Chain A
Amino acid sequence: MEPSSQPVIVVRDLKIGFGKLPVLKGLTLNLNTKENLVVLGKSGSGKSVLIKCIVRLLRSDSGTIDVMGERIGELNASDLAAMRMKIGFLFQSGALYDSMTIKENLAFPLKRIKRNLSSKQIDEKINEALENVGLSDTLDKMPSQLSGGMRKRASLARTIVVDPQIMLYDEPTTGLDPVTSDEISALINQIQEKYNTSSIIITHDIECARATADRMIMLKDGKVYMEGSLEDFETSSDELMQSFFKPKIKHQR
């Protein structure tokens, strides 16, 4: 499905800092419906901080964030919980609950978000989500028994099991080998097609960005440095873009 120009997330002049260190200095961006927006930037440029502000895991110092027309900063606890039900968040570390099996990990948000489901329906949804990420045989395994890539997939299954409308991916391919990274990138596209989600993908993995982006944003010094299509970024003569997109020169030993 083609992205539409109807924004589902609107971020305006977002500022946040930690102590005396400013991280985002007036960031403005939109995420359109059914769009995969890739946010690139060096480590420490505030990419993860941005999506944590969107789900209000962090409170911004100033600026506004509207998600599906509702101002995130002004929601009370119950409205915020309702809003968060519509958003899937894939954490950098996977963040699977390590005292629970994979099945319990997936059942945890389901039982809390979709309270009217019977246990049979919950089982069906869990099986479907695990099948979608190719992990049908891991139901009773503990997270510690899975590889890094499998943990990421299981975590992805946990986010899609509640049918979110918006997906926020925090460095989905970090720490994975190139083959598994490609598989995760393909999964992101499959999820977008199957569930019609709008996604923000935070990454500094260029291959993941190439595979998933409808539109791209580069962050620098807490602001949007460049915005455009993959082609715009690849053909840019800007030094920062080149350092990301041009083939790396091999260092001599």
Chain B
Amino acid sequence: MKHMKVIGPVLKRIPRLPNVKQQAIKLSENAIRKTEKVNQFFLEVGAFTLFFWLTFKATFSRDFEFREFLRQCYLVGNKTLPLITITGLVIGLVLTIQSRPILAEFGALSMLPNMVTLSIVKEMGPVVTALICAGKIGSGMGAELGSMKVTEQIDAMEVSSTNPIRFLVVPRVLAATFMIPILVLYADAFGIMGSWLGANIKGDVNFVLFTTQAFSSLGFSDLFPAIIKTFFFGAAIGFVGCFKGFTAGRGTRSVGIAANESVVMASMFVILIDLVAAQITDML
């Protein structure tokens, strides 16, 4: 007893040994949580694949919603024009202003139109336009379909014997697929115009001379892969926007989440497709 009186306070100061049982429970809970996240990931991949298959099937089915397709083309194309115009012009202008001193240093100032046009047509035009469209069109589609889901409009469409994928998704995906390449060409044109303006800041350059030189180095092998990849950009943006909207949860918060996730995922797809396209072009 006397012995305990002395040793007791000392024992109290020694930190307790961890409870093995509690540690085990904590470990297993963490493991379950991680497994749930993995499950969630695979469920998302499964839903994405299924949605892709249903959209693919609906694209080639009868009763194509042509009016809705035209309406979506107008929304995707026409409504994005002002933003694309400014962006294209600014890209060309900035590229020219920044490249001029470097080219001048190497005595290659005459190569300025060729270099800027090549970089606009091959990379900057398609990728920047696609990223802007991912923000504007992808988020718009995600939010619109998400709010339709929340307010039961998609369910209403389904019970009135209309396939919502055929009416809502297919026209949007196709509109994005066909309009984004046109927007890219439009942005390229404004980019070259911006480059000419940039070249005119320090000196007087004739527009015809500038464009003649710009296109002289531009071959079919530069233009063709750049245009082809924009179709894939468009399809990815449209598809991701629709997928996120369609799979939005219940409640208004889900609409914001769907719009946000659409932008993130569509941008990621654009960059990945660009990487793959660069590899394929390099191999050819």
Q: A: which residues have CB within 8 A of B? A: 52, 55, 57, 81-82, 84-85, 87, 89, 91-93, 95-98, 108-109, 112-113, 158, 162
Contacts and interface: CB of A to CB of B under 8 A. Distances in A.
Interface residues of B, number: 12
B215 to A, nearest CB: 42
Interface of B: 148, 151-153, 155-162
B74 to A, nearest CB: 13
B156 A95 contact: yes
B245 to A, nearest CB: 14
Which of B158, B159, B162 counts the most A-chain CB atoms under 10 A from its CB? B159
Contact of B162 (A91, A95, A98, A109): A109
Nearest to A112: B162
A109 B153 contact: no
B159 A57 contact: yes
Which of B152, B155, B156, B162 counts the most A-chain CB atoms under 10 A from its CB? B156
A91 B158 CA distance: 12
Nearest to A87: B159
B152 A95 contact: yes
A92 B161 contact: no
Contact of A98 (B153, B157, B161): B153
Contacts of B158: 57, 84
B156 A89 contact: yes
A52 B151 CA distance: 15
26 contacts: A52-B155, A57-B158, A57-B159, A81-B161, A84-B158, A84-B159, A84-B160, A87-B159, A91-B156, A93-B152, A95-B151, A95-B153, A95-B156, A97-B153, A97-B156, A98-B151, A98-B153, A108-B157, A108-B160, A108-B162, A109-B160, A112-B160, A112-B161, A112-B162, A158-B160, A162-B160
B153 A55 contact: no
A50 B112 CA distance: 69
Contacts of A113: 160-161
Nearest to A77: B163
A108 B156 CA distance: 11
Contacts of A162: 160
Contacts of B161: 81-82, 84-85, 109, 112-113
B141 to A, nearest CB: 13
Nearest to B154: A95
A52 B158 CA distance: 11
A66 B158 CA distance: 19
A-B pairs with lowest CB-CB distance, top 9: A109-B160, A95-B156, A95-B152, A81-B161, A89-B159, A91-B152, A84-B161, A55-B159, A95-B153
Contacts of B160: 84, 108-109, 112-113, 158, 162
Given A91-B155, A96-B153, A112-B161, 7 more contacts: A82-B161, A85-B161, A87-B159, A89-B156, A96-B156, A108-B160, A109-B162
A56 B155 CA distance: 10
Which of A82, A91, A92 counts the most B-chain CB atoms under 10 A from its CB? A91
Contacts of B155: 52, 57, 91, 95
A95 B151 CA distance: 6
A151 to B, nearest CB: 11
A112 B156 CA distance: 13
B45 to A, nearest CB: 19
Contacts of A92: 152
A89 B153 CA distance: 12
A148 B159 CA distance: 22
Contacts of B151: 93, 95, 98
Contacts of B156: 89, 91, 95-97
A9 to B, nearest CB: 15
B17 to A, nearest CB: 36
Nearest to A58: B155
A226 to B, nearest CB: 29
Contacts of B148: 97
A93 B159 CA distance: 15
Contacts of A109: 160-162
Nearest to A161: B160
Which of A57, A81, A84, A95 counts the most B-chain CB atoms under 10 A from its CB? A95
Contacts of A91: 152, 155-156
A158 B157 CA distance: 11
A158 B159 CA distance: 12
Contacts of B159: 55, 57, 84, 87, 89
A97 B161 CA distance: 15
Nearest to A83: B161
A189 to B, nearest CB: 23
A165 to B, nearest CB: 14
Nearest to A155: B156
